[in-house]
Structure 1
Amino acid sequence: MKRLPLLLAIWSIASTAAASGFSTARFGGEHGHPTTDNPTALYFNPAGLALGKGHRIYLDGALALRRARYDRPVGAISNPGTGTPEDLLDANSGKAELDNWNLIPFGALVSDLGVENLGVGIGVYVPLGGSASWERNTAFEGARGEQYPGAVDGVQRWFTIEGTIRSLYFTAAAAYRIPSLRLSLGAGLNVIQSEVHTIRARNADGTDDLVTGDLPKEGRSLLDVESWDLGFSVGAIWEPVERFWVGASYQSQPGFGEIELKGKLKTQFPSADQTSQDVVLTQELPDIWRLGLRWRPQERWELRLSGEYARWSVFRDQCVFSEGGRCEIRADGSTSADSSGVIQNIPRRWRDGFGVRAGASHWVVPSVEAYLGVGYDSNAIPDRTLDPSLYDMHKISASAGARVEITDWWAVAATITPVFYFTREIEVGESQGLAAPSNQPNSAGTYEQFIAVFDLNTEVRF
């Protein structure tokens, strides 16, 4: 069988989520929260820009190490014994493995412009996104793979072989602190580039069949689409009593609702030539609400508590259709009478997610801050639509790190955060089962994941 070449390299700029859904916002380590006064306020709460002084350059890089495992049962195979011959059941069942590392960047320039209580800033970062490249199935690298070459891409290939979904933000924000009220107000404007790049195995009928009779059936598709959209953020931080802060912020949806990503879909089936067509992918990404508290009971101690609520329930479908067409998906996965040109719909049907975090800092000496944190994030993906392309589970995290003021104008901080995911077991009868064009192979099985994030950042003041 012909294989679809990877014509466009995938830029792995963000790891799979360490919060609900595929949020990757771990910027600043324990200092990234809705009452922060450092430059990560550009994303977490723009009001925090007014709490700093002078000019500041901030660079943050989080290295995320991800290990994921997916074990697919024989019962999930569409047509065992026919579409998948008895001696090839391990081509569509068994364990798939992933071991990846990715870099999550954040960069910002903020300033008070010489005006007391003012803060303005610009930044670039990736708060939403994930990437994955799964390991090959070595059982099909030899003679067995010559007859059925698609199987070498692993049992998860019907959902993903490798791919990226991400949103890159370019943000400008401003804030002002009203001294008489001890109140800071801020707002930001986001220009957002959203991208989806994915390679997956695909059959036109939505099955995982390897063959039709004696003929090979398994195909490949490469989707490469992007969009540019606007978004905004607003926030407030109030200090009702000295050294006690309350912060709240709102981050809008990219595009304020459904966005259209445009590009190419390349498809290859064994019985036909490769096709390439202009397509549109529609999806909705969440808006996010945040609330936080920060308290300095003593000069050398600080306590923090924060939470966020992400409206992932808007992420219902990723519908791909021909340019000029229209996609409306019913509850059963079928298209409405008004739809036209629909090629495939990936059902998501996610639910809202939330997370809570608590942390504490102690200044060993005035220039050295040590900190710890713990957190919990909920699962946003229901059993029916969980598949290996996008993971989520209930999860807990723990953080430890330190920030050092090397000079009066230069500081460096480092944080290590392991994220422990609860294993999920999805039964065959609980997975997928939607009507065309939302039908795809059954994604039942055992899902496991662990992520470790090492964050290093530096801040220069002048």
Structure 2
Amino acid sequence: MPHKSNRHLPYYLALLPLTLIVAIGLTTPQRTEADGIRNPFQGAAAIAQGNAFAAQADDPTAVFYNPAGMTQLHGVQHTVGVQFVSVNTRFTSQTGGSVANERPFPIGLPPPGQLFVTANLKDLGVHALGDLSVGLGLQNLFGFAAKYPRDGPFASAVTFAQFPLLDIKPTLAYKVTDRLSVGLGADIFTFASFLGEGHLEQRSIQGGTTVELNGKGTTAGLNASLLYKVLQTEDGEPLLNLAFVWRSQAVLPVNGELRVNGALMADASSSIRLPEIYTWGLAVWPVRNRDRQWKVEVDVDYARWQSIRDFDVRLSNGTTIANPQRWNNAVSVGIGTEYKWLSIPNHPDWSVAIRTGYLHSEAAIPDVNFNPAAPDAPVHVLSVGLGFLCKENGRFLGLITCGGSKESRFSSTMLGLDLAYHVFLFESRSVTGNPIAAVNGIYQTTTHAGAITMRVNF
């Protein structure tokens, strides 16, 4: 490697351990969903604000939260993040027996995570395409993992389940005017067969034997978005933003096997409808000057889970395992704020942000279709967090110079670290009328989660 490139090696080494954790953790999701089987928590800066980020969208996680926001980002920017999740579910049956989910460690290992990268083509010297930005994301947007004792009260329904679905997001954004930006992208949903189990799987105990259904497949959906600056400063910085994001429905074909005590009994096939989702956001900056910024945002998320009609499983022996579904549409409302000091006394190359927020999500899964693998319930999420951004002559962790040499286009210009903690307080869920009688009872879930996102700007 030429000497000129060697000086950038510390930036990549700083991100490498976290990137490797994410690459493994993307295929082994832990349950952190806000409604149904959805995991909308994809960046620590947003998580700390109650996930109210669509109208701000000013870091590479904009690829998920609002792709139109990518036009606010300069050069090439990259984030990698992980979440450390501790799920605690306790079930009490109608006869008084109780059981909790099995946790081999207080947090799920490896932790789930995501990768995002964006590039502003004009900043890279490509002017023919106008104000176009491109982005790519790798994340787990729909998924869960759960494990219960083999001798538990509802072992006939589930002892183990996982849905390690990856979402690959190639995305474009275009700055139409100084106030309006639009985004368009794809969501490619697939399974990573080269890591972990690599497929959807659910196991149960039937008459003393282990029954397993598994499968995998690939599908695609679309997303479109906009970001509009209603008010802005003389420098073009937003004071009042409106945001809208639409994500299409996608039908995921699932092809796999039915196994009994590990022996193949039949090939199996089914399909899963991933819902259409609408997101609206409004952000206002009561304070925005050279020294400080204060933002308040409200986001509303609407997921059309009602489109799910069945999870019927068709076997190669001609049998169909009927599994009708009557899910409900769900609304999530997030409220969050961020207060940022753009320079610190005696540390002018550092900025610091404090964040907090609240999110409420409705339950999507009715009692008749309730599955302990994803014990859905109305949830209240409380969050707090910190953000640190280091530029120019600052030193990250006291070791790495944050701003590299300006001789190279791909020298680092900033390094950032965002931290968040959020607690999911699920309302107690009393399930009645489920076709599997053993599933009926009271479910109480509390989930603790910490998030780390590292950022490098070039």
TM-score interval, smaller chain: 0.7 to 0.9
Q: How far does the alpha carbon of each residue in 1:85-121 deviate from its partner, in whole angstroms, 9 at most, with x for none?
A: xxxxxxxx72121154332211011110225743111
Q: Structure 1 residue 449: deviation in Å?
A: 0.4
Counterparts of 1:151-300 in structure 2 under 5 Å?
152-180=150-178, 182-193=179-190, 195-202=199-206, 217-242=207-232, 243-255=239-251, 259-268=252-261, 274-299=263-288, 300=293
Q: Structure 1 residue 190: deviation in Å?
A: 1.9
Structure 2 CA distance for aligned equivalents of residues 30 and 312 of structure 1: 27
Indicate whether 1:126 and 2:124 are aligned.
no
**CA spacing shift, 1:241–1:288, aligned 2, 3 Å:** same
| TM-score of the aligned structures, taking structure 2 as reference length | 0.77
Question: 8 Å contact 2:259–2:265 — kept in the other structure?
Answer: yes
Q: Structure 1 residue 352: deviation in Å?
A: 0.6
Question: 8 Å contact 1:159–1:389 — kept in the other structure?
Answer: no
**CA spacing shift, 1:419–1:318, aligned 2, 3 Å:** same
Question: 8 Å contact 1:394–1:421 — kept in the other structure?
Answer: yes
Q: Structure 1 residue 443: deviation in Å?
A: 1.9
What amino acid is the match of 1:95? S
Q: Secondary structure at the match of 1:346?
A: coil
Question: 8 Å contact 2:45–2:387 — kept in the other structure?
Answer: no
Q: Secondary structure at the match of 2:298?
A: strand
Indicate whether 1:431 and 2:434 are aligned.
yes
Counterparts of 1:80-95 in structure 2 under 5 Å?
94-95=97-98
What amino acid is the match of 2:100? E
Counterparts of 1:30-429 in structure 2 under 5 Å?
30-31=45-46, 33-35=53-55, 36-74=57-95, 94-100=97-103, 101-102=107-108, 103-113=111-121, 114=123, 117-134=131-148, 136=149, 152-180=150-178, 182-193=179-190, 195-202=199-206, 217-242=207-232, 243-255=239-251, 259-268=252-261, 274-299=263-288, 300-323=293-316, 341-366=318-343, 367-408=351-392, 409-427=414-432
**CA spacing shift, 1:18–1:283, aligned 2, 3 Å:** closer
What amino acid is the match of 1:196? L
Q: Structure 1 residue 424: deviation in Å?
A: 1.3
**CA spacing shift, 1:252–1:166, aligned 2, 3 Å:** farther
Question: 8 Å contact 2:27–2:164 — kept in the other structure?
Answer: no
Q: What RMSD, in angstroms, separates the aligned Cα atoms of the two structures?
A: 2.1
What amino acid is the match of 1:250? W
Question: 8 Å contact 1:30–1:359 — kept in the other structure?
Answer: no
Q: Structure 1 residue 364: deviation in Å?
A: 3.7
- Unaligned ranges ≥5, structure 1: 1-9, 75-92, 137-151, 203-216, 326-340, 433-439
Comparing 182-191 with 36-45, greater Cα deviation is found at 36-45
Residue in structure 1 matching 2:443, options 440, 447, 461: 447
**CA spacing shift, 1:460–1:41, aligned 2, 3 Å:** same
What amino acid is the match of 1:126? N
| TM-score of the aligned structures, taking structure 1 as reference length | 0.76
Structure 1 CA distance for aligned equivalents of residues 221 and 180 of structure 2: 24
Q: Secondary structure at the match of 2:142?
A: strand
Q: How far does the alpha carbon of each residue in 1:394-431 deviate from its partner, in whole angstroms, 9 at most, with x for none?
A: 1101110011013341010000000100001224xx22
Q: Structure 1 residue 12: deviation in Å?
A: 6.1
What amino acid is the match of 2:248? S
**CA spacing shift, 1:12–1:177, aligned 2, 3 Å:** closer
What amino acid is the match of 2:144? G
Structure 1 CA distance for aligned equivalents of residues 138 and 417 of structure 2: 19
Which residue of the partner structure matches residue 142 of structure 1?
none
Q: Secondary structure at the match of 1:293?
A: strand
Question: 8 Å contact 2:147–2:373 — kept in the other structure?
Answer: no
Which residue of the partner structure matches residue 337 of structure 1?
none
What amino acid is the match of 1:56? Q
What amino acid is the match of 2:168? F
What amino acid is the match of 1:382? P
Q: Secondary structure at the match of 2:63?
A: helix
Q: Structure 1 residue 342: deviation in Å?
A: 3.3
Percent identity over the alignment? Answer: 20
Q: How many residues align?
A: 372
Q: Greater strand percent: which structure?
A: 1
Q: How far does the alpha carbon of each residue in 1:67-93 deviate from its partner, in whole angstroms, 9 at most, with x for none?
A: 00112224xxxxxxxxxxxxxxxxxx7
Q: How far does the alpha carbon of each residue in 1:351-373 deviate from its partner, in whole angstroms, 9 at most, with x for none?
A: 11110011111124530010110
Question: 8 Å contact 1:349–1:385 — kept in the other structure?
Answer: yes
**CA spacing shift, 1:46–1:11, aligned 2, 3 Å:** closer
- Unaligned ranges ≥5, structure 2: 1-24, 192-198, 233-238, 344-350, 393-413
Structure 1 CA distance for aligned equivalents of residues 217 and 202 of structure 2: 15
Q: Secondary structure at the match of 1:128?
A: coil
**CA spacing shift, 1:414–1:357, aligned 2, 3 Å:** same
Structure 2 CA distance for aligned equivalents of residues 441 and 347 of structure 1: 17
Which residue of the partner structure matches residue 30 of structure 2?
15
**Moved >4 Å (runs of 4+):** none
**CA spacing shift, 1:364–1:51, aligned 2, 3 Å:** closer
Structure 2 CA distance for aligned equivalents of residues 347 and 155 of structure 1: 23
What amino acid is the match of 1:232? L
Q: How far does the alpha carbon of each residue in 1:167-210 deviate from its partner, in whole angstroms, 9 at most, with x for none?
A: 21111101011235x100010112211541111123xxxxxxxx
